[in-house]
Amino acid sequence: MHKVREKIAYLQGIAENLEGDMSPRRQARLMSGILDVLEDMAVSLSDLEEAHQQLEDYVDSLDEDVVELEKEVYDEEDEWIHVECPTCHEDVYFEASILEDDEVVEIVCPSCEEVVFISEGEVAPEEERVEVKNDAI
């Protein structure tokens, strides 16, 4: 756009120095200069539209990534934890989200009614959960 401003300033210079008398040659030079500036502006506008479209596509792809991430986060809440009963070796599954409860949760084996998992009663990070799970076995 800097180049366009220079051209406009040049054309303004021609127009100001006319002093009422405009020869066909000067008219032609002025008109040609104006058309040149219009062409430059059209090219700039086209480049700008293209850049804008690229930015829009990028924002759209970012938005899709956020949706994917949200899905992963919500799926994790529905994650199931597997514990093997130490007494009868029954496979016991329960939702990880119940451990987010403030109260202590006891998971009982449906087969022999042995307690196979006791929650801490607080939200524990993933690694700590695995340790607790291993202790319970």
Sorted by sequence, the CB contacts under 8 Å of residue 64 that are 6+ apart come out as none
Q: Which is nearer to Zn ion, 34 or 111 (CB)?
A: 111
CB of 87 to Zn ion, least distance (A): 5
Q: Which residues bind Zn ion (CB under 5 A)?
A: 85, 87-88, 90, 109, 111-112, 114
Kindly tell me the burial class for residue 77, based on how many C-beta atoms sit within 10 Å of its own C-beta (0-12, 13-18, 19 or more). Answer: exposed
Residue (40 or 90) nearer to Zn ion, CB: 90
What does the buried/exposed string (b/e) look like for 100-137 if buried means 16 or more CB atoms within 10 Å of the residue's CB?
Answer: eeeeeeebebeeeeeebbebeeeeeeeeebeebeeebe
Output the smallest distance, CB 136 to Zn ion, in A: 12
User: CB-wise, 51 or 112, nearer to Zn ion?
Assistant: 112
Q: How far is the CB of 84 from Zn ion (least distance, A)?
A: 9
